[in-house]
Copies of this chain bind each other. A is one copy, B any other.
């Protein structure tokens, strides 16, 4: 049974050969470059060959919400034919140097209508994204910030750039921006997990040393069993 993912990777690797054969341009981005800028509507679709990108949403009051991470073997963002106002508040930036295949919106939609498997895979991908957003907007909203944090750490252990071996590469600020809370509040909740010997905080990353105890705090919706 599938649980939410903030980190997307490998979903489209089976289509690498096919995508190479389709009309595209190859591009590279340097760490910090913007793949998708504020004020832009979506006009391109990227297939990521290497590197990681981060998508976030800017609120008019200046606060930033981190929405998702995108890495090797996945596409981002999906193509569609509509213009949403909210797209103007979204930006995607490269967290590391990146190599991508770039497709135009129209070409990609054509490809979907031609390649049945790619189409089904894309639909599944949309469903996965909706799953994450439903989890955030309908489930996490009802949890206390401490539970929210435990859930997030657990989800990143299950599925993240290097989440295995109990390692989570997020700063406290990142965590706060994912959970829409203040850095101070994130720190306080992390301090509690530290005091309970469930995590060891480091600079820029967190080590989980008692997964069982962490799991015990997570909400039902978060656990894959």
Residues of A at the B interface (CB closer than 8 Å) are: 1-4, 57, 59-61, 63, 65, 67, 78-86, 89-90, 109, 112-113, 116, 119-120, 122-124, 126-131, 133-139, 141-142, 180, 219-221, 224
Contacts and interface: CB of A to CB of B under 8 A. Distances in A.
Contacts of A57: 134, 138-139
Chief secondary structure at chain A's binding surface: helix
Q: How many copies of this chain?
A: 2
A137 B137 CA distance: 5
Given A60-B221, A65-B138, A139-B89, A127 B3 contact: no
A80 to B, nearest CB: 4
A89 B1 CA distance: 13
B139 A86 contact: yes
A183 to B, nearest CB: 15
A4 B180 contact: no
